[in-house]
Amino acid sequence: GAVVSQHPSWVICKSGTSVKIECRSLDFQATTMFWYRQFPKQSLMLMATSNEGSKATYEQGVEKDKFLINHASLTLSTLTVTSAHPEDSSFYICSASFGRAFFGQGTRLTVV
């Protein structure tokens, strides 16, 4: 099946710094990718839809200036958490569609 790779798998950063998470579709092209956030013991919450070559579409309540999404190619979308704070600590997961949704392995972000 199709493979979606997410990097890094975990990251620890200092409060106030920015962190970039990459999501790559390894063996297919994806014009659309999705970013989710998952807090401990909770389900996945859709944050935004990443569209290749155009602006991302954010879900209600998600700050677009804080969570910058860039989808510059058909195989790569990036999520940058800007000026990270401890409350941004979470598990971030991306997905890309190829017949159905394929999920990355997730990135655990810890802001200290």
Partner 1 sequence: TQLLEQSPQFLSIQEGENLTVYCNSSSVFSSLQWYRQEPGEGPVLLVTVVTGGEVKKLKRLTFQFGDARKDSSLHITAAQTGDTGLYLCAGADTGGFKTIFGAGTRLFVKA
Q: What's the min distance (Å) between Cβ of 15 and partner 1?
A: 23
**Which position among 2, 32, 58, 62 is part of the footprint of partner 1 (CB under 8 A)?**
32
Please check whether residue 12 is in contact with residue 19, taking contact to mean a CB–CB distance below 8 angstroms: no
Per-residue contact flags (x/-) with partner 1 for residues 79 to 108, judged by CB under 8 A: ------------x-x-x-x--xx-xxxx-x
Q: How many CB atoms lie within 10 A of CB 20?
A: 14
Told to check if 42 binds partner 1 by CB under 8 A, we report yes
Cβ closest to partner 1, residue 43 vs residue 65? 43
Is the CA virtual torsion 27, 28, 33, 36 positive or negative?
negative
From 63, 82, 76, select the one nearest 20 (Cα to Cα): 82
Greatest Cα-to-Cα distance within the chain, rounded to the nearest angstrom: 39
Q: Does 54 bind partner 1 (CB under 8 A)?
A: no
Contact 35, 50 (CB under 8 A): yes
Binding site for partner 1 (CB under 8 A): 6, 32, 34, 36, 41-46, 49, 91, 93, 95, 97, 100-101, 103-106, 108
